[in-house]
């Protein structure tokens, strides 16, 4: 944590401005954020994509949406068609099925049905190990001392501590978010193919991975790496074609009489961002006045890091934060699982960032 950050090179005015801005943001988060009531003993990550956070199947103890995904997987495993099953089950449970985006992509259910519960556990174990390995490898050139590197990688585990449990293995955002965290760690100029594969898998599970793909493509264009940029653009275009097929397939099974999903454009502002991260991480266990400011601190750490991944992570997480402020209803906070796995790694550089900001702020005018 003793490494110099980019803030060590800042002028007195720049440092004072960022310190003031940081203080305002943290204070506002502490004073204004109000955590929603999720029900006693109910882990936030189990909340429903289309129902109230406290809704649950009393017989199974499962949240209604998790129970829905369970049934869909069971019926697909029995040989039924995914789209027929998904539309039928959502309609029967009074869940929206229009537009086609209201029905999840078939990838996760199809794979889960094919491999069975034991296979899902094995996939989770493999991805968890790959996540740790990828970040250990990525941080090795940045953090030389193994004990400190263990702290940074431990922050990855902190990010998945709440959600990475068997009861949530039917959540699409969980798998997609872990794959995006792996892709972020693997992504390097000239060595992007493994990251591309991980991002493609994430995108195949949940369309919310598209901002990551677009950002990687934009950064490749900025570097004038035409081959990499072309690969990311091709992935985005291919996905849009497949997404159109998905929406069209759902449309063939529905009618105007089916329930229409409410708009995602809820314009919830900072509250949406705060809920998306705090309620999908261990921060929900803390008082709101403490958890909310801690949610923003990793961004300061990422901004301080001189390495390229610092800028990539800052742009990625700030971009998703903007998405959470614009889109998503209260019961969509589980979208935060898309970025939570790697979010808290930025905390590692916060002490050094504050040290260098204070030092720069003390420079002669």
Domain boundaries, the chain: 15-33+53-361
CA distance 320 to 302: 15
**Measured between alpha carbons, how far is residue 109 from residues 67, 136, 208, 240 in Å?**
13, 31, 17, 20
User: Does position 34 have pLDDT exceeding 90, yes or no?
Assistant: no
Q: pLDDT tier at 61 (50, 70, 90 boundaries)?
A: low
- Stretch 20-27: mean pLDDT, rounded? 96
Beta strand ranges found along the chain (DSSP E): none
Q: Is residue 62 classed as helix, strand or coil in its secondary structure?
A: strand
- pLDDT of 226 reads 94
By the 10 Å C-beta count (0-12 exposed, 13-18 middle, 19+ buried), 30 is classed as middle
Please give the residue that has the higher pLDDT: either 331 or 349: 349
User: Does position 316 have pLDDT exceeding 80, yes or no?
Assistant: yes
- Stretch 172-179: mean pLDDT, rounded? 96
DSSP letter at 188 equals B
- Stretch 54-70: mean pLDDT, rounded? 64
- Stretch 27-47: mean pLDDT, rounded? 65
Closest CA to 154 of 139, 174, 171: 139
**Measured between alpha carbons, how far is residue 220 from residues 84, 139, 210, 325 in Å?**
40, 21, 15, 27
Q: Which positions ≥6 away from 29 have C-beta within 8 Å?
A: 270, 274, 292, 293, 295, 296
Q: Is residue 332 classed as helix, strand or coil in its secondary structure?
A: helix
For the ranges 11-25, 60-74, 220-234, the lowest mean pLDDT is seen at 60-74
Quickly list DSSP for 279-291: TTSGGGGS-HHHH
- How many helices (H) and strands (E) the chain has is answered by 14, 0
- Stretch 127-134: mean pLDDT, rounded? 96
Tens digits of per-residue pLDDT, 243-300?
Answer: 999 999 999 999 888 888 888 788 888 999 999 999 999 899 999 999 999 999 999 9
Buried b / exposed e across 290-303, counting CB within 10 Å, b at 16+?
ebbbbbbbbbbbbb
């Amino acid at each position: 944590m003793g490494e110099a950050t980019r803030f060590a090179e800042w002028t007195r005015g720049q440092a004072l401005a960022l310190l003031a801005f940081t203080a305002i943001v943290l204070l506002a988060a502490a004073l204004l954020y109000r955590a929603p009531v999720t029900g006693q003993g109910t882990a936030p990550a189990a909340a429903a994509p289309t129902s109230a956070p406290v809704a649950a199947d009393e017989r199974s103890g499962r949240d209604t949406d998790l129970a829905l995904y369970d049934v869909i997987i069971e019926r697909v495993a029995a040989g039924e068609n995914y789209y027929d099953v998904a539309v039928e089950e959502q309609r029967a449970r009074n869940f929206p099925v229009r537009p086609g985006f209201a029905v999840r992509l078939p990838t996760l259910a199809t794979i889960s049905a094919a491999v069975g519960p034991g296979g899902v556990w094995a996939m989770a174990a493999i991805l968890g190990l790959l996540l740790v390995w990828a970040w250990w490898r990525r941080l090795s050139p940045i953090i030389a001392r193994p004990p400190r590197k263990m702290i940074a990688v431990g922050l990855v585990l902190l990010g998945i501590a709440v959600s990475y449990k068997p009861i949530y293995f039917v959540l699409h955002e969980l798998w997609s978010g872990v794959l995006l965290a792996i892709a972020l760690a693997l992504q390097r100029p000239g060595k992007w193919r493994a990251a591309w594969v991980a991002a493609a898998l994430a995108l195949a599970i949940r369309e919310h991975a598209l901002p990551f793909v677009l950002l990687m493509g934009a950064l490749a264009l900025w570097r004038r790496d035409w081959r990499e940029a072309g690969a990311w653009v091709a992935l985005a275009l291919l996905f849009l074609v497949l997404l159109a097929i998905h929406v069209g397939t759902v449309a063939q099974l529905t009618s105007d009489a089916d329930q229409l999903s409410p708009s995602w454009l809820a314009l919830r502002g900072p509250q949406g961002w705060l809920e998306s991260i705090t309620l999908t991480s261990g921060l929900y266990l803390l008082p709101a006045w403490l958890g909310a400011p801690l949610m923003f601190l990793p961004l300061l750490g990422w901004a301080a890091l001189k390495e390229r991944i610092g800028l990539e992570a800052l742009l990625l997480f700030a971009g998703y934060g903007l998405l959470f402020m614009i889109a998503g209803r209260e019961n969509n906070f589980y979208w935060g699982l898309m970025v939570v796995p790697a979010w808290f790694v930025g905390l590692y550089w916060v002490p050094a960032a504050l040290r260098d900001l204070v030092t720069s702020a003390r420079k002669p005018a």
